[in-house]
């Protein structure tokens, strides 16, 4: 059975690049009827942030990337936290030492650095001399008597070539002479990621290691340990990294200031920030960043749109198909179609995917997604009928669920919504405008029915009777009933608000400019 794994470190929010890796692992497992395992790489206790684990787990769940074994589920290979598997790692270290594939080393950091600098001075590759290697228990005692602390290093080959078939990159070769004697156990007895990774993959029966290309350089030391420990060798597939917008440099959650210089990226952030501020979501850079998944969930993106877009960052079915459902992706995914080059994060394209997926939703689903944003923004009393009416009138203006908040004029109390001062000045404070508005108010008061066709006819008859153009009245009317100079279709707006609200708002607007 195919078994893949994703092993995030709880050191921060879930990165888009990490999600893409998890997605490809998940799709491959689902395509082959296999299992997807989630384990937590928390061997680096200094960098781990306990609070960061929840957003990682929630982010994966939100995207629909479920796991068959792991945190919250358990499974036959528990525990799924590396911090709880120390005994297994220490046993592997002892086995490597006993077989001569690893050794205890007592060199100080300064001594290692001195050898490295000497090699640089001679313009030769650095290869540790193993001068402080302890080959016997007596050697250990002697070094420790000098006050030295020992680590455990791999005793890597010094000649030959490792040839490996990568399922994405084809045949790759590594010169053993270029490999260092990597540390696998610290002075305090804790083990490093690379050893833990190898032991876990064996224990969890991982058949395919699908991971980011920056791990390709780690592969030789891991293959060395796998072979030395007598483990089964999984198949490897190294994915191209997700690049910065319009670049070949790896996308980083720490470079938000740099990315904000890109207009599309800045627009993406600003649209999201307006929504987040209305619902009280944190907007600090570490929690509100389009490079992390939490950003998209917080402002109302569709998980299926994010998944669709991420799947095409490095993979394609052909040169024309872009729209995929989750099941389409599972049915068609293959590592053979994954490219080798970095895929650039394109904000505009992501926005287009979100727009396409959102417009395909039935009205009841849009309502289900938009309503929570209104509640969080303080509009708990917004009726289902009012929300549906706004959604219908807005059409494709609403692209993420949080966009409903841009039309708050329909949910604010008549006496509470704000007026844009510039719009009042421009459209209402002219004699002609407010005089026409007073006259049209009287027409509205008598209107029956109060629906879009009737209101359109009412306006047509009014402008004809007054011998004016429509734009001489509609801007003043819009500002009066919404407080804004732009918005939904005017007649849709009037019909949704209803007669009583429209009349009350017109009275309030006229009062604000001193007209009774």
- CA 126 to chain CA mean position, Å: 39
155: left (phi over 0), alpha (psi -120 to 50) or beta: beta
Give the pair of three-digit tokens for residue 328: 């389409």
The pairs formed by 375-383 with CB atoms below 8 angstroms and a separation of 24 or more are 376/278, 376/279, 376/280, 377/278, 377/279, 377/405, 377/408, 379/408, 379/411, 379/412, 382/411
Q: How far apart are CA 194 and CA 221, in angstroms?
A: 8
Q: Strands of 133-134's sheet, edge to edge?
A: 133-134, 102-105, 151-154, 183-185
Q: In this structure, is the dihedral angle defined by the CA atoms of residues 383, 386, 392 and 394, taken in order, positive or negative? A: negative
Q: Decide if 242 contacts 306 (C-beta within 8 A).
A: no
Give the pair of three-digit tokens for residue 363: 């009205």
Classify burial at 148, counting beta carbons within 10 Å of its beta carbon; exposed 0-12, middle 13-18, buried 19 or more: middle
Q: Pairing between strand 102-105 and 151-154?
A: antiparallel
Angle, helices 499-512/471-482, rounded to nearest 10 degrees: 100
Residue 506: closest CA among 442, 453, 430: 442
Which one of the listed residues 31, 155, 253, 349 is annotated catalytic? Answer: 253
How is residue 230 annotated by DSSP? T
Q: How far apart are CA 128 and CA 101, in angstroms?
A: 15
Active-site residue flag, 250:
no
Give the pair of three-digit tokens for residue 372: 């929570």
Q: Active-site residue numbers?
A: 253
């Amino acid at each position: 059975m195919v078994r893949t794994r994703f092993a995030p470190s709880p050191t921060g929010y879930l990165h888009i690049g990490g999600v893409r890796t998890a997605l490809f692992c998940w799709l491959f497992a689902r395509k082959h009827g296999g299992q997807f395992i989630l384990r937590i790489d928390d061997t680096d206790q200094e960098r781990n942030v306990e609070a960061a684990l929840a957003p990682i787990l929630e982010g994966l769940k939100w995207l629909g990337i479920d796991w068959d074994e792991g945190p919250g589920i358990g499974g036959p290979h528990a525990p799924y936290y590396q911090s709880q598997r120390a005994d297994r790692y220490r046993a592997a270290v002892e086995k490597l030492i006993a077989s001569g594939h690893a050794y205890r080393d007592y060199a100080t950091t300064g001594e290692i650095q001195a050898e490295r600098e000497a090699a640089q001075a001679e313009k030769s590759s650095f290869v540790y001399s193993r001068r402080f290697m302890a080959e016997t228990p007596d050697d250990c005692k002697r070094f420790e008597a000098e006050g030295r602390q020992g680590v455990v290093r791999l005793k890597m080959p010094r000649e030959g070539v490792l040839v490996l078939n990568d399922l994405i990159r084809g045949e790759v070769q590594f010169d053993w002479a270029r490999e260092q004697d990597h540390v696998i156990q610290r002075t305090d007895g804790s083990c490093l990621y690379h050893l833990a990774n190898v032991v876990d993959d064996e224990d969890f029966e991982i058949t395919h290691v699908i991971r980011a290309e920056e791990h390709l350089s780690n592969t030789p030391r891991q293959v060395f340990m796998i072979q030395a420990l007598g483990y089964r060798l999984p198949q490897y597939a190294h994915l191209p990294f997700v690049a910065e917008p319009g670049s070949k440099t790896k996308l980083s959650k720490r470079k938000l200031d740099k990315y904000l210089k890109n207009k599309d990226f800045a627009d993406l952030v600003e649209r999201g920030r307006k929504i987040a501020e209305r619902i009280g979501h944190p907007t600090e850079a570490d929690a509100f960043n389009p490079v992390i998944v939490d950003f998209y969930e917080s402002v109302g993106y569709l998980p299926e749109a994010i998944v669709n877009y991420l799947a095409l960052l490095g993979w394609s079915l052909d040169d024309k198909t872009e729209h995929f459902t989750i099941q389409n992706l599972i049915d068609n995914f293959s590592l053979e179609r994954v490219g080798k080059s970095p895929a650039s994060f394109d904000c505009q394209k992501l926005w287009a995917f979100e727009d396409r997926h959102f417009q395909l939703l039935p009205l009841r689903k849009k309502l289900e997604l938009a309503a929570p944003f209104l509640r969080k923004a303080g509009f708990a009393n917004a009726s289902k009928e009012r929300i549906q009416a706004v959604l219908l009138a807005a059409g494709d203006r609403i692209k993420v669920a949080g966009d409903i908040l841009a039309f708050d004029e329909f949910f604010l109390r008549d006496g509470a919504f704000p007026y844009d001062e510039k719009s009042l000045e421009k459209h209402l404070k002219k004699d002609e405008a407010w005089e026409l508005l007073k006259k049209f108010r009287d027409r509205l008061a008598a209107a029956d029915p109060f629906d879009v066709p009737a209101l359109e006819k009412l306006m047509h008859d009014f402008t004809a009777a007054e011998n004016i153009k429509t734009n001489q009245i509609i801007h003043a009317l819009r500002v009066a009933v919404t407080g804004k100079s732009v918005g939904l279709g005017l007649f849709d707006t009037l019909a949704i608000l209803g007669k009583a609200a429209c009349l009350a708002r017109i009275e309030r607007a006229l009062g604000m400019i001193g007209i009774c």
